[in-house]
A and B are shown apart, each in its own frame.
Chain A
Amino acid sequence: KNQVEQSPQSLIILEGKNCTLQCNYTVSPFSNLRWYKQDTGRGPVSLTIMTFSENTKSNGRYTATLDADTKQSSLHITASQLSDSASYICVVSAMHDYKLSFGAGTTVTVRA
């Protein structure tokens, strides 16, 4: 069964600090991996997408990495801002049927 595991479940950081979120998956055959940001009370919004051949993708202060051999991805947030407080969801797509497997998300709280 295709699975996506995220860690930690939640974290609190001070404004201006960096943090890294982890995602491990067992989806096979692998097509692509996306990180979504979900603000409280809103729908998820795509941050990055990576295919098998890509190992790094940036979107402003967000940098995602992918190791397709170990089936791991990380999302690094640099110089966090209060607006980064949200849930970050790792989403993996399987080849052929393109069905999405969602992680449960990591809730990030940025404190002033």
Chain B
Amino acid sequence: DAEITQSPRHKITETGRQVTLACHQTWNHNNMFWYRQDLGHGLRLIHYSYGVQDTNKGEVSDGYSVSRSNTEDLPLTLESAASSQTSVYFCASSESLGDTQYFGPGTRLTVL
């Protein structure tokens, strides 16, 4: 069955370190998204991609970057982790714009 996976599921890191969160989908979807989820807030869009070599900033992109070298993967990099980036991160994908997005299981990141 097609799926979307994220790794690691849990990560603890220190302030200032570079961290990369992986997202892999086997649906062959063109569109992929990264969100963060914080208590009391709705999911907020960090970065998104509409296809290979395409990346776009979302509403909370500062301190994050992504790259899309193939259809299946969209890794999210925190260049220099900050305590404000402690959150749960979700990756999602969709076949077409406006279609239902399918979410991964999430990565809980703690920055000490």
* A88 at the B interface (CB under 8 A): no
Residues of B within 8 A of A42 (CB): 105-106
| Min distance, Cβ B5 to any Cβ of chain A, angstroms | 11
Which residue in chain B gives the minimum CB-CB distance to A104? B42
Across the interface, do B100 and A101 meet the contact criterion of CB distance under 8 Å?
no
Q: Are A41 and B98 in contact (CB under 8 A)?
A: no
Chain A interface bracket (under 10, 10 to 19, 20 to 34, 35 or more): 20 to 34
A61 to B92, CA, bound (A): 26
Question: Which stretch in A13-21, A44-52, A62-70, A77-85 binds the other chain?
Answer: A44-52
Report Cα–Cα, A4/B106, bound state, in Å. Answer: 22
Mostly, the A contact residues are: strand
Q: Contact check, A101 vs B105: say whether CB atoms are below 8 A apart.
A: no
| Binary interface encoding of chain B residues 70-104 relative to chain A, with 1 for a CB under 8 A from any of its CBs, else 0 | 00000000000000000000101000011011111
Say which residue of A4, A31, A41, A45 sits within 8 Å of B103 (CB atoms). Answer: A45
Chain A min CB distance to B87 (Å): 14
B104 / chain A contacts, CB cutoff of 8 Å: 43
Q: Residue-by-residue, is A1-24 near B (CB-CB < 8 Å gives 1, otherwise 0)?
A: 000100000000000000000000
List of A residues within 8 angstroms of B98 by Cβ: 31-32, 93, 98
Contact of A43 among B41, B44, B100, B105 (CB under 8 A): B105
What's the nearest-Cβ distance from chain B to residue A58, in Å? Answer: 17
Name the A residues within 8 Å of B106 (CB-CB): 41-43
